[in-house]
Amino acid sequence: MKALFLVAVLNALFPDSLPVLPDSSQFYILNPKASRLWAVGGTSFLTLGSTYVYLERTWWNGRGVPFHFDKGRDLTYASGLDKVAHLAGGIFISETYYNAFRWAGVTQKKAEWLALGSAAFVELGIELKDAYSPTYGFSLRDVAAGTLGGFWPMAQHRSGFLRDSQWKVSYWQQTSKYFDERGIPRQRFSIDDYLNQTYWFSFSPEHFGGQHWRHIWPDWLQLSVGMGLEAESWSIRHDGLGGRHEWYFSPDINLVKLLKPRSRATRLLLGLIKYIKIPAPTLQIGPKVHWHWLYF
């Protein structure tokens, strides 16, 4: 099995020079599609396995409790921003798996459904982790939000507007309130620190105008609507205080359309960083109006 997996990985990396497997006096070339599917499965297993081990050591660190469902806390502690995070997570996962399955030779329709199933499976695994946490619990709402994000590749292929749209996230520690109220040392990053997270939906305005508008508007220039949490009104010391939502409006850039990468390495790099919102001048439009010369 190890030898088969190794050959699959080599086939994926060097598809034009396929190694062979000895069997008696004959040699059989491993099917390129099968080898790439093995690579997708093996990479997923290693990634999800290592992530689970890391979270098991850091999330509750030996303080696990019996399986239980969330009793409604997930609706209040982040004012629903965590649901947007799960939606975005489902989108990121489904896009990754869709591209991986297409690379492996799977048809578009099958890849869409496999991407949806992969997003739902990963989301289910996340909630099973939370189900044994002393602070959280299994949330059907989180599973639904993440699974909904799994439909993103399907939606993009059926809508020109969505095909040019992007979901992004930014994280910049403007306040340490999350760590202070929890009584833990300040960290460079915490997945549960929603006070410093902003989720963005970037779209191309050219789809709202006529043919003339499409000619004059740069196809790489987008507008972005962001959603975050207000630190002043947020607290976890009292139940039900999850903070008011902050809303932002900002320009954004579609790096793929701007740079038009040709090399595989550049396309891979842009595929990794396209989910990060580029810092830009930003207008905060709620709950109070404020201008940010550069919002990270």
> Quick one: 200 and 252 in the same domain?
yes
Of the three residues 107, 137, 157, the one that is the final residue of a domain is 157
> Quick one: 8 and 140 in the same domain?
no
> Quick one: 38 and 75 in the same domain?
no
115, 95 in Cβ contact below 8 A? Answer: yes
> Quick one: 100 and 29 in the same domain?
no
Element (H, E) at 72: none
> Quick one: 137 and 237 in the same domain?
no
> Quick one: 163 and 296 in the same domain?
yes
> Quick one: 291 and 192 in the same domain?
yes
User: Which among 275, 295, 277, 276 has a CA at the least distance from the CA of 285?
Assistant: 295
DSSP characters for 207-271?
Answer: GGS-HHHHHHS-TTEEEEEEEEE-TTTB-SSSTT-B--EEEEEEEEE-HHHHH---SHHHHHHHH
Of the three residues 63, 78, 106, the one that is the final residue of a domain is 63
Q: What is the dihedral of CA 255, 257, 263, 264, to 10 degrees?
A: 70
Q: How far apart are CA 166 and CA 173, in angstroms?
A: 23
Q: Which stretches of the chain score pLDDT less than 50?
A: 1-29
> Quick one: 34 and 8 in the same domain?
yes
189, 171 in Cβ contact below 8 A? Answer: yes
pLDDT of residue 197: 97
pLDDT of residue 56: 65
226, 198 in Cβ contact below 8 A? Answer: yes
> Quick one: 166 and 270 in the same domain?
yes
pLDDT of residue 65: 81
**pLDDT tens string 42-60:** 777 776 777 667 666 665 5
> Quick one: 98 and 27 in the same domain?
no
